[in-house]
Structure 1
Amino acid sequence: MTCLVCGADTVKQQLDVGSHPVASFFLQEPNAVEKLHPIRLGQCGTCAVVQMMQPVPHHALIPPYDWLFAREPEEHLDQTVEDILAYGHINADSIVSGISYKDDTTIDRFRAKGFENGWRLELERDLDVSDPSASIETVQKLISSDRARKVAERHGPADLLIVRHIIEHAENLREFMAGLAALVAPNGLLMLEIPDCAANLCNADYCMVWEEHSLYFTPETFALVPTLGGFETLRLDVHPRPFENSIVLIARKTGAPGDVLPTSAALEQADLLARYAASYPVTKIELRRHLEKYRDVKGRIALFGAGHLAHAFANFIDVADLIDFVADDTPQKQGKFLPGARLPIRPSAALLDDGVTLCLLALSINNEDAVISRNRAFVDSGGTFRSIFRSSPRSIFAYDW
């Protein structure tokens, strides 16, 4: 396979978690027909970037409804804004822009500091996409250099372009970076933010894998990306998070797009995916054995949070048949079924009503305490909450079986 980053034909498949439906395509009935996509990861032998062997095409990721919304971490954004301002490249007359709804809160922070000029790319206005359900999966596909130049001519090139949590979705990273470069003025700044996959790769956490992500970067491999758009890195920061750290990279546009030059730091991670893949069958076997025994002795098991993390756990770890249902209080999800696993989605009150004894948390680690607090009656009745993540202090992988 040709590498999505450096273009070399040296990507070797290491991990195959099977073929699965898109996590956001909730089923209306348990026996509905589903379209499956192969989920396989490889690592490039030239630049060491971990990536999907066959990225799911963007049109197959657009959900059949418009109420899904991803919330990205924001605790570090105030500091990031200060870091950008410290370079002195922009002032109150500068154009501060973004390409998706994920950039709005950062743009708002600049507006609060007097930056009134700017724009945010809109799918219908700027890319002629009228589907209300289309989102970042469509943005990453359509931002070509030609389209981007037209957007820049219409709105004015950005002196600072904010791009949060979309690079990892890119099907064609080289073309996407060229598109971003066309949106930025000469010597303008680019802020990129992505999830850091280093900890999950090292910890063998397979909930990291998501059909919407084509690329799985570490700080060392992400440092290779700016040159694809003709940018020079000014700083790269890693902001700690419980499940996935956030990598923020600030770069300046200095020239024409260039080729990726692998570094010794990136190549030192050449066996990262191989080690991650080697632990996969062992993880599946051991966890399944423990959950089977728990279910036989102590009773029913549920998941909490009907998102892509629960989808990955139930399907990739192959334990769906040991779980009774998924608890989730999102009104639009009620009465539907988790893709692949075909587990019913029920309100959290069902934990108590249906005699569940173990509930596995499949949502942001930051939100675990709040969920437990809202479901205190379940705990008081003898129920136990555990997390599906190895990095959580209440991880099921550290449970005293």
Structure 2
Amino acid sequence: MTCRLCGSAALHSVVDLGASPPCEHFLTAAELDLPEQTFPLHLRVCADCLLAQLPPLITPEETFTEYAYFSSFSTSWVAHAEKFVTEAAQRLGLDGDSFVVEVASNDGYLLQHVLARGIRCLGVEPSVNVGEAARAKGVPTVTEFLSPETGAKVRAEHGPADLVVANNVYAHIPDVLGFSQGLRALVAEDGWVSIEVQHLLTLVQQTQYDTIYHEHFQYYTVASAQRALASGGLTLLDVELLPTHGGSIRLWARPSEIAGEPGPRVAAILEEEAAAGLHTVAGYGEFARQVERVRRDLLRFLLDAAEAGKTVVGYGAPGKGNTLLNHCGIRPDLLRYTVDRNPYKHGRFTPGTRIPVLPVERIEADRPDYVLVLPWNLRAELTEQLRGVAEWGGRLVFPIPRLSIVDPAAGTAGGHNEVNP
């Protein structure tokens, strides 16, 4: 294995999570008696360019041609997208003469807000089923993976984009160089590229290891993202820190020919990363030990709850939850089922751990003692949604960054933690 950004062979282990199946391959009932393929989940960091990465064992075509994730099922994520569109339009002066392209546009969750402002737009979405959902909303969408050739083709047919958006996709592509060149092909000579991606700094500091899964081929600091963008002819000019996905960065870049010097926020965050030790391999040394702490705490809680005769079910069936469930070896004896708002997953089973995925109404019908919230990054949204669990004395359990048992009636600010189930 060599670094996919710089080609170096100096890759050092960050954490080895064993082997697990692809996180979005939810099983049908007919597949439960069939063998299931698993792949190593071993994160390494390049000593030369500091890109943290997984080996490219699964191709994007295998994962994203048909996809189980629909962005619009998260109310807070749709609101986040609408806020971004409003602010970007103001920042860049976008109007009816502008053109916006979103790469990995999913089900139109963001571009619907661009359309509502009367701005011409186009989605580039590789998943056939998700792209169909976008077109059903009236969002123009082409079914393509981004490459330099795809970028040039879209530009030739639709014109250069004043803004290219790539939210939560820059980690999902093994060909960093080709994807970055594709972004450059799409954007106008005086245009902007905006990328949102999880920040490796918060991933490490808050032990968010469940976001390590095969769909994510790399994990970025601002330093490594700066190098990746430069490989495609783009210069990073500004960075925003976002709370999404447990802590993300929004990167603002322009074609290098006209970019100028990066703004002060870039230097400030680079300095913060360096102070945390993430600009050297040695800075990652404690992470694996913290991962094991999360695993032990969650298993101890589930085992104690089982011994006490308490019922524990899950909420959500996100990809990150499947990393956590597989790494901890959690099966239906400890987590009876999980629920999800996405009907695509209903009647299916989580990959590897084979936990049933049911409609959300099942929680109120069964009134469990504890609800393990797998999309912990949506804590505020889901604590409010699950406030009714308190009616029968139920509690919410958040596994990351530290095990937290919360009374949903108290809200996110006043919720209290308990020590024992």
Fold conserved between structures, TM > 0.5: yes
Alignment of 1:65-214 (within 5 A): 68-71=69-72, 72=77, 74-75=79-80, 78=83, 81-82=86-87, 85-86=90-91, 92-102=96-106, 104=108, 106-110=110-114, 115=119, 117-121=120-124, 131-132=128-129, 142-214=145-217
**Structure 2 counterpart of 1:367:** 381
1:400 counterpart = 2:400: no
Return closer, same or farther for 1:369/1:178 CA change in 2, 3 Å cut-off: same
1:314 counterpart = 2:325: yes
Hey, what's the Cα distance between the residues in 1 that align with 2:188 and 2:146? 16
Which structure has more relative contact order (CA 8 Å, sep 6+)? It is 1
> What SS does the corresponding residue of 1:222 show, helix, strand or coil?
helix
Segments of 4+ moved more than 6 angstroms: none
Hey, what's the Cα distance between the residues in 1 that align with 2:175 and 2:419? 45
**Structure 1 counterpart of 2:5:** 5
The alpha carbon displacement at 1:360 in A equals 0.7
- Is residue 28–residue 347 contact of structure 2 (8 Å, CA) maintained in 1? yes
> What SS does the corresponding residue of 1:315 show, helix, strand or coil?
helix
> In the alignment, residue 391 of structure 2 is paired with which amino acid?
D
> What SS does the corresponding residue of 1:223 show, helix, strand or coil?
helix
> In the alignment, residue 32 of structure 1 is paired with which amino acid?
L
- Is residue 53–residue 217 contact of structure 2 (8 Å, CA) maintained in 1? yes
2:312 to 298, 301, 313: 301
- Is residue 58–residue 141 contact of structure 1 (8 Å, CA) maintained in 2? no
> In the alignment, residue 70 of structure 1 is paired with which amino acid?
S
Mind listing any 5+ residue stretches in structure 2 that lack a counterpart?
Answer: 133-141, 259-269, 408-415
Return closer, same or farther for 1:383/1:266 CA change in 2, 3 Å cut-off: closer
**Structure 2 counterpart of 1:126:** none
> In the alignment, residue 78 of structure 1 is paired with which amino acid?
K
1:72-111 C-alpha deviation (Å, 9 max, x unpaired) = 46437536654564456x6653332222325955545555
The alpha carbon displacement at 1:266 in A equals 5.5
> In the alignment, residue 301 of structure 2 is paired with which amino acid?
H
1:147-173 C-alpha deviation (Å, 9 max, x unpaired) = 321221121122322222111101110
**Structure 2 counterpart of 1:59:** 61
1:276 to 276, 287, 299: 287
The alpha carbon displacement at 1:237 in A equals 0.7
1:203-234 C-alpha deviation (Å, 9 max, x unpaired) = 22322222211111234433333212212222
The alpha carbon displacement at 1:305 in A equals 1.4
Hey, what's the Cα distance between the residues in 2 that align with 1:38 and 1:372? 35
Return closer, same or farther for 1:266/1:285 CA change in 2, 3 Å cut-off: closer
1:279-329 C-alpha deviation (Å, 9 max, x unpaired) = 223332343233212210242221111222331221112232422222335
> What SS does the corresponding residue of 1:167 show, helix, strand or coil?
coil
**Structure 2 counterpart of 1:41:** 43
Identify which range, 38-47 or 219-228, moves more after superposition: 219-228
**What is the TM-score with the length of structure 2 in the denominator?**
0.78
Return closer, same or farther for 1:49/1:395 CA change in 2, 3 Å cut-off: farther
Hey, what's the Cα distance between the residues in 2 that align with 1:282 and 1:276? 10
Alignment of 1:248-263 (within 5 A): 248-255=250-257
Hey, what's the Cα distance between the residues in 2 that align with 1:55 and 1:99? 23
Hey, what's the Cα distance between the residues in 2 that align with 1:291 and 1:108? 42
- Is residue 309–residue 362 contact of structure 1 (8 Å, CA) maintained in 2? yes
> In the alignment, residue 46 of structure 2 is paired with which amino acid?
C
Aligned length: 381
Q: Give the root-mean-square deviation of aligned CA atoms.
A: 3.5
